Amino acid sequence: MKHITLFPHLPGVLCGLALSLPSHAAACAAAVPDSLPRLRVGGYGEMVYTRNFFSDNIYRYQNPARYASDPSHARVDLPHAVLNLSYDFGRGWKFNTEIEFEHGGTGGSYEQEYEEGGEWEQEREQGGEVAIEQFWLEKRFAPAFHVRAGHIIVPVGLTNARHEPLNYFGVYRPEGESRVLPCTWHSTGVSLWGTAGRFRYEAMAVAGLNALNFSRDNWVQGGSQSPFEYSVANRLGFAARVDYRPSPSLRLGLSGYFGESMHNSSPNDLSGTDELGNPKKYSHLRGTVAIAALDFTFRSGPWRMSGSADYGHLSDAAAISQVKKNLVSNNAPTDKSFVGEAAYALGLEAGYDLFSAFPRHDGREQLYVFARYDQSDSYIPATGMQDYAQTLRRTLTAGLNYYPLPQIAVKAQYAHTWLRGALNNEPSVSLGIVYQGYFL
């Protein structure tokens, strides 16, 4: 995130007070480095209004003609409000945490009441979620070798690697990647990362995805979420990312993920053996998830461009779909829809700063006109599985981004989504205000 300082003299004032106590003098002197302050507080947030010019009836895809003339509907939302806190302890040790409030609400958790026959119960007062998106300790041994442990971002795909709102033009995060991948993808594990010349790498092992939360409309997105007070880690996932900068203006990225997802739920009663010692019916299912992603960003003068291509494959998709449909309790914290054998997402956007065309423009304010194209399919079925037309989406978005300051943007866009066959298209207009930066 971009750095701003609202209270530049605060560390010195606090140290001046502490120096009156001899026991704190040495600690305070060591706590204030010559350049970057050790304590940093920042964050980002989004406020959004959208008017959708299509039906919001849940049966609009089953009977499109019936709902073609439905009135439009509008929404206001706080998609993300994030508070970031980091502290450099010195000698290469650093702590970072990020607390995210999604949609202005609070989440809930499931519990299995064994006194009531194993029935699942959930309490929720308001939609939305409060989650710790990052919580890690890091040790720096050299620029090319850092070790990070805790709850960390899984940087697979462009949006996960650069998910803050000033990194893309749209009012919402890019539709394609945010439909088929966890977004923002965060999990608990261990990461190794570093920089060497024009390269930056990161490799990690984290808690694996849960196949019982995969879905038709969002592929493996729900697999990173846990409805419990813990994350199940019967299976591990492995992710990696490499970024290369051939020039200061251009960055190229390659990322991927691999891991089994079946039997990564709680209770784990679909694997192992039965009372006779025979393997259970579904013990052989692996649900191996493999994802590969390419992306780039380009900035030069008044031009900004970015693009991404993601493809993923899930083994045993047909069998997992049947398990989800037939064996999972109706009130269990899982998804009962079918899941595709594969999914993909493509995205490309470009913007031009209109203010740069004026000779007297000093660069303090910017006005970008932009266009973006997204295409994705969250459900590519295996042989013999039912297909669904609404999972293939093509969206063209155009609009303006006004930056009165580098840390603030006012966004406006028109988006039009085309669906297959006789399904109704989905146009919309959206307005948003976002901020991003460090305050202290």
Please tell me the least confidently modeled range out of 82-91, 239-248, 254-263, 356-365. Answer: 356-365
Helix-strand-coil split of the chain, %, nearest 5: 15, 50, 40
pLDDT tens profile 109-120: 555 554 445 566
> Please, which pLDDT band fits residue 28 given cuts at 50, 70 and 90?
very low
Q: Are residues 14 and 88 in the same domain?
A: no
Q: Are residues 201 and 156 in the same domain?
A: yes
Q: Are residues 249 and 353 in the same domain?
A: yes
Q: Are residues 209 and 259 in the same domain?
A: yes
Q: Give pLDDT, residue 195.
A: 97
Its domain, for residue 5, covers: 1-37
Structural element, H or E, at residue 160:
helix 158-161
Q: Are residues 84 and 124 in the same domain?
A: yes
Q: β-strand 39-52 against 426-438: which pairing, if any? A: antiparallel
Q: Using the predicted structure, report yes or no on whether residue 419 has a pLDDT greater than 70.
A: yes
Dihedral of CA 202/208/211/213: which sign?
A: negative
Q: Using the predicted structure, report yes or no on whether residue 9 has a pLDDT greater than 50.
A: no
Q: Using the predicted structure, report yes or no on whether residue 43 has a pLDDT greater than 90.
A: yes
Crossing angle for the helix pair 10-18 and 22-31, nearest 10 degrees? Answer: 150
Question: What radius of gyration do the chain's Cα atoms show?
Answer: 24
pTM listed for this prediction: 0.85
Q: Which long-range contacts (CB under 8 A, 24 or more apart) does 24-28 make?
A: none
Q: Are residues 208 and 138 in the same domain?
A: yes
Q: Using the predicted structure, report yes or no on whether residue 11 has a pLDDT greater than 70.
A: no
Q: Using the predicted structure, report yes or no on whether residue 7 has a pLDDT greater than 60.
A: no
Amino acid of residue 147: V
Q: How far apart are CA 41 and CA 439, in angstroms?
A: 6
Structure tokens at 241: 């990312």
Q: Are residues 23 and 103 in the same domain?
A: no
Contacts of 432 (CB under 8 A, 6+ apart): 46, 47, 48, 49, 171, 172, 410, 411, 412
Q: Are residues 127 and 169 in the same domain?
A: yes
Neighbours of 277 (CB within 10 A): 6
Read off the CATH number of the domain in which 290 is found. Answer: 2.40.160.10
Q: Are residues 16 and 134 in the same domain?
A: no
Total count of domains within the chain: 2
Please tell me the least confidently modeled range out of 68-77, 126-135, 147-156, 390-399. Answer: 126-135
Interval 227-251 mean pLDDT = 93
Q: How far apart are CA 15 and CA 136, in angstroms?
A: 27
Q: Are residues 21 and 132 in the same domain?
A: no
Structural element, H or E, at residue 188:
strand 186-196
Interval 333-343 mean pLDDT = 90
Say which DSSP state 424 is in: P
Q: Are residues 146 and 195 in the same domain?
A: yes
Q: Using the predicted structure, report yes or no on whether residue 391 has a pLDDT greater than 60.
A: yes
357 vs 22, more confident? 357
Instruction: Please provide the average confidence, as pLDDT, over all residues in the chain.
Output: 87
Q: Are residues 265 and 346 in the same domain?
A: yes
Q: Using the predicted structure, report yes or no on whether residue 190 has a pLDDT greater than 70.
A: yes
**Percent of the chain with pLDDT strictly greater than 70:** 84
Each residue of 297-336: b (16+ CB within 10 Å) or e?
A: beeeebebbbbbbbbbbbbbbbbbbebbeeebeeebbbbb
Structure tokens at 88: 């450099």
Q: Give pLDDT, residue 356.
A: 92
Among 291, 197, 307, 204, CA closest to 252:
307
Q: For 56, phi and psi rounded to 5 degrees?
A: -110, 20
Neighbours of 367 (CB within 10 A): 18
> Please, which pLDDT band fits residue 4 given cuts at 50, 70 and 90?
very low
